[in-house]
Amino acid sequence: MFDQTLNPFASTFAVWLVALIPVVVLLFLLAVLRMTAWLATSIGSIVTLLLGILVWGMPVGLGIQSYIFGSLTGIWAVDWITFWGVVLFNTLVLTGTFESFRAWLTSQGTADVRVQTLLFAWAFGALLEGLVGFGYPWAVVAPILIAVRIPDLDAIRVAAIANNAPVSYGALGVPIVALAAVTGLPLMALSASIGHIVAILALAPPWVLIYLVAGRAGFREGWPLAIVGSLGYIAGQFPVAVYLGPYLPDITGSIVCFACLLVLLKLWRPKQLLGYGGVPVSAADEAAAVAAGKALPAGEIFRAWLPFIVLIVVVVLWTGPWSNLPKISLFSLSVAAHSSLTPGAIVRATFNFAPFIGGTAICASWIVVALLLRPTGAQLREVFSRTFHQMWGALLVGVFIFGLAYVFNYSGMAASLANGFSAIGPWFIVVAPILGWIGVALSGSNTSTNAMFGAFQVAVGKLLGFPPLLLPSLNSVGAEIGKPIAPQTASVGVSTSRFVRDEGQIIRHNMGWTLILLVYLILIGLIYFFLAPGVMSLAAPPA
């Protein structure tokens, strides 16, 4: 136990600048020097540890322990999920199941790139985010988009931008569960407040996606797709988020969106089919795409869907609110500090070994899928060899980035950064989502960002008299916006593309659109702050 220092210098502004160094170093290494993510995060974690010890006075032993506990959390909470997710994906690829699934999806979506993008990247990507998260949707969706002739780099960007809105409810609501844990705010209240923000945010991405793949020409006849795609997701997401909690909104949102888009395509289709870049698609290409899917027998279509059915059933039953499996803990390791921001509060860096978390559920899903698909011994060896080759860099990022995030919070740097930002006064409403954006750039995880910044967002909100749910909710959704530039997510997302260990190029390519969506989110925050503050208020003080 040690006492955090809020202002190690005489100047609050100087402390604020120094506390930003880990963020600046990390983004400079990735975006400017084009350094691979695992190396950039390892250097960034060393810089953060040294700053914590030399500037904030964190004891060396306690600082190293907090780093180790963070790294263990990265391995078990993130790497364990992403590893088995990619193992499952590679099993589908090497058994031919994924190609059958892609052909069926293509036949449903026609050869129009706008339809394909909303079905694959928006609706199907939201389903994968709701079940797995942590970059897995990029890794699965991008190859589908590449197969329908979207260039590699642009396909990854489309998958990343489509993945924005679902992130807060990703991995069965884990980010919001973490936010409730660190803030003491009611879980249902946070789920509802974030649901209100996401419902407005989700209006924009389908329009952006159509523009990215088909340009201005795509809007001429493609606007019904954007309207149905956005409203379909919201219709499935919003009521579940408000009335049932954070576990299933992405899953219900994606399924309702899928159903709405398929119904629309039965009733209406664009007269002129467009390929990538707004180039018209020939009748021959359209006929070939439809024939590829319709040629599949019913049994093969069911076999193509079966792994995803297994994944949904196992993960939902295993980790949903009705299951106690994820709550089982064998042991917990922790170091504590007295908070410099909130008198009497304790800041902890904790590794909790819960053996039956989401990653174990995905592992169990893969075992069931492998028994059903029956890959050969040679195919299984290739699955794990390919997965290790694709994933070793991303797995190291999980180790380093969580160690960095834990030290950033435990040392008091996060508190000092918050203190500097809070001096802005009421205009902190503009800064709150930016901090979520910064947090996910540091940690690669909405969950970790909420853990890092959630409590101080609540403290600043109390100091400034804001509605209690507003700032932590904006923090979480701000992290959604920053996901396309998060190094850990990018490492996983490129694992099935030719950009393995070249995450810096992906981050630069995604940066502009994340800033545009961040401005949109700030406007949403201002709307709730000035016009509908009651939505972000509590009926009673949190326990």
Give tens-digit pLDDT for 286-310: 666 566 556 678 888 888 889 888 9
**Alpha-carbon distance 77 to 250, whole Å?**
20
Contacts 24+ apart (CB under 8 A), 47-54: 47/21, 47/22, 48/22, 48/404, 48/407, 48/408, 48/411, 48/413, 49/403, 49/404, 49/407, 51/18, 51/21, 51/22, 51/411, 51/413, 52/407, 52/408, 52/410, 52/411, 52/412, 52/413, 53/411
Residues 71-129: tens digit of each pLDDT: 998 888 778 887 888 888 889 889 998 888 777 776 776 778 999 899 999 999 998 88
Predicted confidence band of residue 409 (pLDDT cuts 50, 70, 90): confident
Predicted confidence band of residue 519 (pLDDT cuts 50, 70, 90): very high
Nearest CA-CA partner of 507 in 157, 137, 158, 162:
157
Average model confidence (pLDDT) across the chain: 86
Predicted confidence band of residue 443 (pLDDT cuts 50, 70, 90): low
Query: Is residue 444 within 8 Å of 541, Cβ to Cβ?
Result: no
**Alpha-carbon distance 275 to 465, whole Å?**
51
Residues 317-373: tens digit of each pLDDT: 887 778 889 889 999 999 999 988 778 888 888 899 999 987 898 899 999 999 999
DSSP string, 91-159: HHHHTTHHHHHHHHHHHHH-S-HHHHHIIIIIIIHHHHHHHT-TTHHHHHHHHHHHHTT--HHHHHHHH
DSSP string, 230-282: HHHHHHHHHHHHHHT-SSSHHHHHHHHHHHHHHHHHHH---SS-B-GGGPBPP
Going from the C-alpha of 126 to that of each of 80, 168, 257, 359, 368, the distances in angstroms are: 20, 11, 9, 18, 23
pLDDT for position 541: 39
State mean pLDDT over 163-169: 87
Tokens, residue 515? 């800033």
For the chain, domain boundaries: 2-536
State mean pLDDT over 532-538: 93
**Alpha-carbon distance 187 to 538, whole Å?**
12
130 pLDDT above the threshold of 50: yes
pLDDT for position 515: 94
Count how many residues are written for the chain.
543
Tokens, residue 290? 């439809």
Contacts 24+ apart (CB under 8 A), 270-275: 270/112, 270/114, 270/115, 270/221, 270/222, 270/225, 271/221, 272/220, 272/221, 273/110, 273/111, 273/112, 274/112, 274/113, 274/114, 274/214, 274/217, 274/218, 274/222, 275/111, 275/112, 275/113, 275/149
410 pLDDT above the threshold of 70: yes
Query: Is residue 149 within 8 Å of 110, Cβ to Cβ?
Result: no
Going from the C-alpha of 174 to that of each of 195, 223, 227, 344, 502, the distances in angstroms are: 14, 33, 29, 27, 28
**Alpha-carbon distance 156 to 146, whole Å?**
9
pLDDT for position 290: 60
Query: Is residue 141 within 8 Å of 218, Cβ to Cβ?
Result: no
Predicted confidence band of residue 48 (pLDDT cuts 50, 70, 90): very high
Tokens, residue 213? 């793949």
Predicted confidence band of residue 31 (pLDDT cuts 50, 70, 90): low
pLDDT for position 540: 41
Nearest CA-CA partner of 362 in 98, 78, 139, 81:
81
Residue 226, φ and ψ in degrees, nearest 5: -65, -40
206 pLDDT above the threshold of 70: yes
Fill in the DSSP letter of residue 350.
E
pLDDT-above-70 percentage for the chain: 93
State mean pLDDT over 444-449: 77
pLDDT for position 80: 86
Residues 462-503: tens digit of each pLDDT: 878 899 999 999 999 999 998 888 776 777 666 666 666 666
Give the side-chain half-sphere CA count within 13 A for 289: 23
26 pLDDT above the threshold of 50: yes
Predicted confidence band of residue 543 (pLDDT cuts 50, 70, 90): very low
Fill in the DSSP letter of residue 411.
T
Angle at 73 between CA 515 and CA 175, to 5 degrees: 45
Task: Please give the radius of gyration of the chain, using alpha carbons only, rounded to the nearest integer.
Answer: 23
Nearest CA-CA partner of 4 in 40, 47, 58, 80:
58
Residue 337, φ and ψ in degrees, nearest 5: -145, 150
**Alpha-carbon distance 271 to 274, whole Å?**
10
pLDDT for position 285: 67
pTM (predicted TM-score):
0.77
199 pLDDT above the threshold of 90: yes
pLDDT for position 526: 96
Nearest CA-CA partner of 9 in 435, 453, 412, 454:
412
Nearest CA-CA partner of 257 in 223, 226, 302:
226
